[in-house]
């Protein structure tokens, strides 16, 4: 694990998202509640829509382009759609957001 | 005998002392030093003292007799100046106290937000008896008012106490809901409404700019300019560990005094306990872990092996009549699920968080009777798989038969006297009687019995009674619910938002018994619209409940870039505007397209460039064209009497006036207008949402056209003689649509539902027309502002990546 500081928790609104540019492409950081965040690929498994621009609800994200819904926990598409987005380890420490760079570099390699 | 010296007489040191003297009364020669002029008392009971429910005497845990009878020497009202570790002495004024073992238990101090005026007399923290007495004194004055900054546990207990002493109390909280560390929005909403019922004013998202006054506190000024009068200002925005003795002593201090599993600091003879310690990067503010630490410390000092571990914590608020409970972990994790139960009538909210078939968190409001049972499960990690379906109903409901899981069977099994509709007191027997008498639809039952006619949350239950009684003969009503989060229709929700004065999303979710924690992409934008349309001054637009285009004020395209359309009033532009648009198009390499709404679209703009291009266009005097909103898009015009040889009126001028009147407003769906200067209708007004045709005698206003998925000609609303009347009728009509339309119904759909006759009837009444006209103006006072300029100055950073890690070395 190589936890890398990517910014302040407060930089992401609750039920909002921001992206981080990495060697594995853009990663979306989602904040579902006061104290809960998830990280996934920003690209929808359907047509590559920017998931960080979707509406966050419960622990799910709905793609802004064609309304595919993904679990932020497993990355699996919900409902009748079949597909999966990559998820990455992210955590909060002292109100800072930490992303595991090893996991990202592993998927970039 | 070994000499033990304790600095600080708080909750943790008191408990440590008790353990030591109970287990081994003669193990140590003990001295306790305290800066406060008194010994140990139960600090967490200061709130009941403030509220007048207890006296100070009742919360003393150790009085002078106790110290004397246990041969404990006391130095109260004495501040420690330093500790000499080489000589092993604690130095207080005029005295040195030598030790073999030293305990630092200096607790914490309130965090005073360093706003201007924070040092004025009358600004107090809330930590000890002096603070409490200062508040009690302040409350005794006539017409005294208090401002509490920080709506956490301590702040709310203080606010409730001050209110009980008759003060005007305002709580300022910088987050969107109270106790945001312990509660979710729904529970925070219920708590806020309960406090408001007691006469406490609660302001969320409130940021203090300064505390002002001449020689003493007089008022608090917020960043938005609001001023609140105050005789005292209570700061309860958090605590800071009081670790300065640790620093002065030279032991290891991070955020607080660092200790190991035995509460030992970096000096083997110095220990620390309570809120002044840091353990594995954690600091502490609640009493339960402090008591655990005290026990470990006592055992360590007595040579008994013990080790401090962090365990699950729970929170209860000590405000009489506000039952809330919060426990466990709501933070990061994989594969979690929520179970939510809401009972709007009893004001109950319960939420359980489950991970790997184990309960890991619980929030409860209104009914906390089962909280200990849930807390036990969290601590024990009980496997709940077998009782998952009924878990939220608590221990009394476990082991029930499987038939209770089938809702229809459960309804069938209800006795005739079981109450179905709580609002109107209708029981199952009343409904079955009405059904036998011929009421075979939900509306019939509502009309006959009033069941589900008020708050509507029992609609599903009434339908189930119908289904049980009629079997296949019962058809569920055609109006669909908003989404899977609720059984209510859009019309129900709009009606209830108005009737019950619901002014926030958590209020809607709770009072209307939403089945999900915070809605879904179908209902969130709709509820957000209804709230901002009905309560423009009270409700704050929620960007997180908007589709991407309305959040980013541009239209997302299939490749993730955006299109940008500046407003061209009535389709009129100038050479200078065109130069600015052309320059921006070149700078950002845009594709340029002329739209059907008489303006120019710049396509292919990257998200991070949006604030830049907006700024360029703003500088040339242009604002957002709202080409992306469920709101006013365009007012298309022809050149009218200015140029056209057939023109009968100034159609361009009227179009511009209407666009300047209506721009910025949100509507249930997009809104397009057109004004044609004569019946030749060059601006195609008769297929718009609202079309105006100029004639010699005045203006023909028609509504409900469509030229998209459906094609439809407008229908005549009214003919008027003057531009002023056009303004009045069009504005009132738009407002009627805003107040009544279903989200995502264009005007033609709405008109076909409510009927043009009803609309004409409403608008023909001059008083009603003016009321709608004025309501629109109130809404525009909030929403008619250029979102581009607003985002450029206030939100530009949200358009940039949070971080760029592409340059980080690959390991």
Q: What is the pLDDT of residues B62-96, one digit of tens each?
A: 888 899 999 999 999 998 988 999 999 999 988 99
Tokens 């004013």 belong to B201
Pick from A58-67, B263-272, B275-284, B802-811: least confident: B802-811
Q: How far B499 CA lies from chain A's nearest CA (Å)?
A: 27
Please answer yes or no on whether B801 and A56 come within 8 Å at the CB atom.
no
d(CA B753, CA B738): 15
pLDDT at residue B384, rounded to an integer: 86
User: Does B282 contact A at CB distance below 8 Å?
Assistant: no
Q: CA B774 from chain center: how many Å?
A: 29
pLDDT at residue B56, rounded to an integer: 87
Closest by CA position to B756, among listed B776, B728, B736: B736
Residue B244 confidence (pLDDT) above 80: yes
Q: What's the whole-model pTM score? A: 0.67
In the predicted model, what is the mean pLDDT of chain B?
89
Which residues in chain A have their CB less than 8 angstroms from residue B808's CB? 4, 22-23, 101
Which residues in chain B have their CB less than 8 angstroms from residue A108's CB? 810
Phi, psi angles (nearest 5°) of residue B603:
-105, 155
Label the pairing between strands B208-212 and B101-104: unpaired
B25-53: average pLDDT: 88
Q: Which of A16-20, B220-224, B374-378 has the highest mean pLDDT?
A: A16-20
Selected residue with higher pLDDT from B54 and B508 = B508
pLDDT at residue B403, rounded to an integer: 37
Selected residue with higher pLDDT from A39 and B500 = A39
Domains along chain B with CATH numbers: 2-108+241-301 (3.50.50.60), 112-237 (3.50.50.60), 323-400 (3.30.390.30), 407-541 (1.10.10.1100), 548-629 (3.90.480.10), 637-787 (3.30.413.10)
Residue B478 confidence (pLDDT) above 80: no
Q: How far B547 CA lies from chain A's nearest CA (Å)?
A: 7
B726-735: average pLDDT: 97
pLDDT at residue B375, rounded to an integer: 83
User: Does B545 contact A at CB distance below 8 Å?
Assistant: yes
Q: Which of A15, A36, A67 sits opposite B330 (nearest CB)?
A: A36
d(CA B409, CA A63): 39
Phi, psi angles (nearest 5°) of residue B234:
-105, 125
Please answer yes or no on whether B558 and A14 come within 8 Å at the CB atom.
no
pLDDT at residue B212, rounded to an integer: 93
Interface residue of A6, A53, A62 to substitute, partner B, most B CBs within 10 Å: A53
Buried b / exposed e over B89-126, threshold 16 CB at 10 Å, is bbebeeeebebebbbbbbbbbbebbebebbebebbbbb
Residue B57 confidence (pLDDT) above 90: no
The overall longest dimension of chain B from CA atoms, in Å, is 113
pLDDT at residue B323, rounded to an integer: 80
Which residues in chain B have their CB less than 8 angstroms from residue A14's CB? 176, 544
pLDDT at residue B328, rounded to an integer: 78
User: Domain A3-108 adopts which CATH fold?
Assistant: Rieske Iron-sulfur Protein (2.102.10)
Which residues in chain B have their CB less than 8 angstroms from residue A16's CB? 543-544
Q: How far B260 CA lies from chain A's nearest CA (Å)?
A: 20
Please answer yes or no on whether A54 and B548 come within 8 Å at the CB atom.
yes
pLDDT at residue B623, rounded to an integer: 97
d(CA B416, CA B211): 61
Q: What would the pLDDT profile of A53-108 be if each residue is shown by its tens digit?
A: 999 999 999 999 988 999 999 999 988 788 999 999 999 998 999 999 888 888 87
Q: To the nearest whole percent, how much of chain B has pLDDT over 90?
A: 56
Interface residue of A1, A12, A15 to substitute, partner B, most B CBs within 10 Å: A15
Which residues in chain A have their CB less than 8 angstroms from residue B544's CB? 13-16, 55-56
pLDDT at residue B399, rounded to an integer: 53
B598-618: average pLDDT: 96
Q: What would the pLDDT profile of B200-220 be if each residue is shown by its tens digit?
A: 999 998 999 999 999 899 999
Pick from B221-225, B453-457, B477-481, B787-791: least confident: B453-457
Pick from B206-215, B281-290, B401-410, B520-529: least confident: B401-410
pLDDT at residue B42, rounded to an integer: 84
For residue B608, the chain A residue with the least C-alpha distance is A19
B453-460: average pLDDT: 68
pLDDT at residue B46, rounded to an integer: 86
Q: To the nearest whole percent, how much of chain B has pLDDT over 70?
A: 95
Q: Which residues of B614-677 form beta strands (DSSP E)?
A: 632-637, 671-676
3-state per-residue secondary structure call for B702-745: EECCEECCCEECCEEEEEECCHHHHHHHHHHHHHHHHHHCCCCC
User: Does B807 contact A at CB distance below 8 Å?
Assistant: no
Residue B602 confidence (pLDDT) above 90: yes
User: Does A18 contact B at CB distance below 8 Å?
Assistant: yes
pLDDT at residue B51, rounded to an integer: 84
Interface residue of B485, B544, B802 to substitute, partner A, most A CBs within 10 Å: B802
- Which sign, positive or negative, has the C-alpha torsion B490, B492, B494, B497? negative
Q: What would the pLDDT profile of B681-725 be if each residue is shown by its tens digit?
A: 999 999 999 999 999 999 999 999 999 878 999 999 999 999 999
Which residues in chain B have their CB less than 8 angstroms from residue A21's CB? 801, 803-806
pLDDT at residue B457, rounded to an integer: 62
Residue B766 confidence (pLDDT) above 80: yes
Residue B331 confidence (pLDDT) above 70: no
Q: How far A61 CA lies from chain B's nearest CA (Å)?
A: 9
Q: How far B287 CA lies from chain A's nearest CA (Å)?
A: 21
Q: Which of B331, B519, B548 sits opposite A35 (nearest CB)?
A: B331
Please answer yes or no on whether B332 and A90 come within 8 Å at the CB atom.
yes
pLDDT at residue B405, rounded to an integer: 47
Distances (CA, A) of A67 to A60, B548, B565, B762: 12, 12, 25, 38
pLDDT at residue B609, rounded to an integer: 96
Please answer yes or no on whether A15 and B544 come within 8 Å at the CB atom.
yes
Q: Which of A91, A99, A104 sits opposite B332 (nearest CB)?
A: A91
Which residues in chain B have their CB less than 8 angstroms from residue A2's CB? 811
Please answer yes or no on whether A7 and B798 come within 8 Å at the CB atom.
no
Which residues in chain A have their CB less than 8 angstroms from residue B797's CB? 11
User: Does B484 contact A at CB distance below 8 Å?
Assistant: no
For residue A104, the chain B residue with the least C-alpha distance is B810
Q: What would the pLDDT profile of B377-427 be if each residue is shown by its tens digit?
A: 888 888 888 888 788 887 766 654 443 445 677 677 777 877 777 667 788
Query: What are the extents of the domains in chain A?
Result: 3-108
User: Does A24 contact B at CB distance below 8 Å?
Assistant: no
pLDDT at residue B126, rounded to an integer: 87
Residues β-bridged to residue B270: B102
pLDDT at residue B402, rounded to an integer: 40
Q: Which two tokens stand for residue B463?
A: 């339908």
Q: Which residues are CB-neighbours of B94 under 8 A, at least 6 positions away?
A: none
∠B391-B181-B519 over CA atoms, to 5°?
A: 55
B287-291: average pLDDT: 83
Tokens 């070149």 belong to B586
Report the complex ipTM.
0.90
């Amino acid at each position: 694990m190589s936890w890398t500081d990517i910014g302040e928790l407060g930089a992401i609104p609750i039920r909002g998202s921001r992206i981080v540019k990495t060697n594995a492409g853009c990663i979306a950081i989602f904040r579902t509640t006061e104290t809960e965040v998830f990280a996934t690929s920003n690209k929808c498994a359907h047509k590559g829509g920017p998931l960080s621009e979707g509406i966050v609800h419960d622990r799910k994200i709905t793609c802004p382009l064609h309304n595919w819904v993904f679990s932020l926990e497993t990355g699996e598409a919900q409902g009748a759609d079949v597909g999966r987005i990559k998820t990455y380890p992210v955590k909060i420490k002292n109100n800072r957001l930490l992303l595991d760079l090893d996991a990202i570099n592993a998927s970039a390699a | 005998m070994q000499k033990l010296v304790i600095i600080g007489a708080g909750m943790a040191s008191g408990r440590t002392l008790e353990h030591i003297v109970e287990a081994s009364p003669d193990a140590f020669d003990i001295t306790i030093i305290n800066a406060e002029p008194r010994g140990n008392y139960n600090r967490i009971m200061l709130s009941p003292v403030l509220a007048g429910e207890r006296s100070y005497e009742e919360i003393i845990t150790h009085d002078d007799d106790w110290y004397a009878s246990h041969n404990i020497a006391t130095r109260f009202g004495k501040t420690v100046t330093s500790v000499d570790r080489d000589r092993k002495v604690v130095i207080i004024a005029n005295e040195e106290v030598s030790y073999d073992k030293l305990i630092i238990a200096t607790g914490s101090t309130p965090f005073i937000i360093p706003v201007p005026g924070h040092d004025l007399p009358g600004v107090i923290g809330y930590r000890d008896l002096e603070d409490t007495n200062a508040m009690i004194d302040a409350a005794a004055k006539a017409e005294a008012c208090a401002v509490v900054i920080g709506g956490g546990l301590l702040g709310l207990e203080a606010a409730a106490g001050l209110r009980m002493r008759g003060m005007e109390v305002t709580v300022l909280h910088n987050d969107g809901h109270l106790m945001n560390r312990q509660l979710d929005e729904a529970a925070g909403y219920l708590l806020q409404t309960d406090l408001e019922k007691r006469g406490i004013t609660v302001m969320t998202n409130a940021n203090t700019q300064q505390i002002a006054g001449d020689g003493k506190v007089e008022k608090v000024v917020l960043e938005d300019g609001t001023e609140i009068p105050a005789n005292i200002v209570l700061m309860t925005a958090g605590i800071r560990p009081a670790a300065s003795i640790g620093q002065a002593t030279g032991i290891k201090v991070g955020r607080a005094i660092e200790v190991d599993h035995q509460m030992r600091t970096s000096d083997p003879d110095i220990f620390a306990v309570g809120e002044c310690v840091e353990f594995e990067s954690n600091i502490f503010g609640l009493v339960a872990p402090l008591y655990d630490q005290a026990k470990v410390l006592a055992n360590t000092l007595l040579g008994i092996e013990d080790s401090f571990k962090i365990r699950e914590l729970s929170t209860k608020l000590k405000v009489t009549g506000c039952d809330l409970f919060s426990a466990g972990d709501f933070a990061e994790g994989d594969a979690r699920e929520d179970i939510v139960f809401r009972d709007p009538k009893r004001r109950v909210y319960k939420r359980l968080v489950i991970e790997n078939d184990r309960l890991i968190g619980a929030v409860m409001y209104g009914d906390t009777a089962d909280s200990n049972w849930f807390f036990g499960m969290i601590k024990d990690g009980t496997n709940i798989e077998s009782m998952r379906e009924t878990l939220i109903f608590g221990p009394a409901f476990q082991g029930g038969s499987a038939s209770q899981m089938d809702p229809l069977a459960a309804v069938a099994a209800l006795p005739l006297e079981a109450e179905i509709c709580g609002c109107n007191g209708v029981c199952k027997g009343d409904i079955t009687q009405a059904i036998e008498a011929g009421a075979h639809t939900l509306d019939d039952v509502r009309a006959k019995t009033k069941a589900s006619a008020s708050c509507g949350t029992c609609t599903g239950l009434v339908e189930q009674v119908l289904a049980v009684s009629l079997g296949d003969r019962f058809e569920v009503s055609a109006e669909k619910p908003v989404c899977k989060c609720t059984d209510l229709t859009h019309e129900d929700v709009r009606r209830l938002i108005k009737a019950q004065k619901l002014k926030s999303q958590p209020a809607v979710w709770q009072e209307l018994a939403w089945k999900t924690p915070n809605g879904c992409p179908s209902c969130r934008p709709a509820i957000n619209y209804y709230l901002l349309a009905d309560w423009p001054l009270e409700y704050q637009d929620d960007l997180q409940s908007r589709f991407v285009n309305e959040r980013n004020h541009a239209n997302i395209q299939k490749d993730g870039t955006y299109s940008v359309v500046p407003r061209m009033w009535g389709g009129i532009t100038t050479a200078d505007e065109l130069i600015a648009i052309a320059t921006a198009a070149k700078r950002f390499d845009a594709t340029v397209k002329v739209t059907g709404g008489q303006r120019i679209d710049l396509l292919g703009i990257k998200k991070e460039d949006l604030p830049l291009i907006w700024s360029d266009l703003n500088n040339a005097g242009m604002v957002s064209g709202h080409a992306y909103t469920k709101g006013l898009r365009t007012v298309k015009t022809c050149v009218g009497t200015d140029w056209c040889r057939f023109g009968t009126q100034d159609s361009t001028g009227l179009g511009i006036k209407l666009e300047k009147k209506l721009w910025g407003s949100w509507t249930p769906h997009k809104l397009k207008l057109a004004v044609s200067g004569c019946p030749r209708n060059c601006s195609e007004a008769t297929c718009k949402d609202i079309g105006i045709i100029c004639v010699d005698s005045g203006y023909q206003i028609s509504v409900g056209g469509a030229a998209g998925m459906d094609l439809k000609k407008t229908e005549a609303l009214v003919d008027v003689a003057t531009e002023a009347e056009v303004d009045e009728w069009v504005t009132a009509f738009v407002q009627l649509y805003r107040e009544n339309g279903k989200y995502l119904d264009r005007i033609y759909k709405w008109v076909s539902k409510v009927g043009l006759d009803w609309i004409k009837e409403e608008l023909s009444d001059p008083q009603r027309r003016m009321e709608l006209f004025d309501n629109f103006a109130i809404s525009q006072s909030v929403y008619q502002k250029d979102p581009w300029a607003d985002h450029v100055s206030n939100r530009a950073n949200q358009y940039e990546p949070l971080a760029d890690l592409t340059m980080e070395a690959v390991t």
